[in-house]
Amino acid sequence: MTDSDITPRKRFHALDARERARWLDPAEAEFCAHGFENASLNRILKQAGMSKGRSYHYFADKGELFRATLDRRMAGIAELCDAAVLAAKEPGLFWQEVAALGARLTAALQKDERLAALIRTLHQERAAQQACAVQLDVFRARVEALLTAGQAIGAVRGDLPTSLLVAVTLQLIVTVDHWFADHAAALDMAQEQLLSRQAFGLLIAPLIPPSQFGDDLP
């Protein structure tokens, strides 16, 4: 059989984990250190001792290598997102489950510095977002399902398009995360715990049905 219908991605996937790490370890180091656009493919290749030809045999382009790097780190994250939150039948429980979910993800990111760096790159660079469009859509769909479930039981406001609420929520998550990353050094642990509890309120404030607070706005 000719290789015309075998994508580089599949070829890479067929390699064993040991061999894949020979690519992904240097790539991850480079992407974490320089982000996506400023990462140099040539530098990665030199570091990994691989040639251009080999690279484009296994990865269609730079984006595919980034995606593979991210995929490896993301393994094990999916199982943190259990479905309990979708089953909640009243707002109090719903938000409690959301808070627990958020805490789990936050803890995972705090433990895995490399993953946090990759995700921050993904957040900051449009080119990286294009490279990972599929994964991002999956994540977006997850958040959308969550918000829709919240709307169904009246925990989330239903007077605005879901896509707008999703966009706002995603941005708020990364913004708050980013702020904590920037200011973590200046906080002791007690402060950080207190703040992150309050920051959770910040996150969900735009989602609360507007009738719940006094409408003294123009």
Partner DNA sequence: ACGAGATTTAGACCAGTGGTCTAAATGCTC
Partner DNA sequence: GAGCATTTAGACCACTGGTCTAAATCTCGT
Residues lying near a copy of itself in the complex (CB under 8 A) are found at: 35, 37, 91-92, 95-96, 99, 124-126, 159-161, 163-164, 167-168, 171-172, 175-176, 178-179, 183, 195, 198-206, 208, 210, 212-214, 216-218
Cα(212)–Cα(215) distance, rounded to whole angstroms?
9
Cβ burial, residue 47 (10 Å; 0-12/13-18/19+): middle
43 binds DNA (CB under 7 A): yes
**How many Å separate Cα 142 from the centre of its chain?**
11
Which of DNA, a copy of itself, none sits in contact with 185, Cβ below 5 to 8 A by type? none
State both tokens at 198: 């309050």
Identify which range of 56-64, 92-100, 114-122, 149-157 contacts DNA by CB under 7 A: 56-64
Which of DNA, a copy of itself, none sits in contact with 137, Cβ below 5 to 8 A by type? none
* Alpha-carbon distances of 151 from 42, 50, 53, 121, rounded to whole Å: 49, 51, 51, 31
- Which chain residues interact with DNA by CB under 7 A? 1-3, 6, 11, 39-43, 50-54, 56-58, 61-63
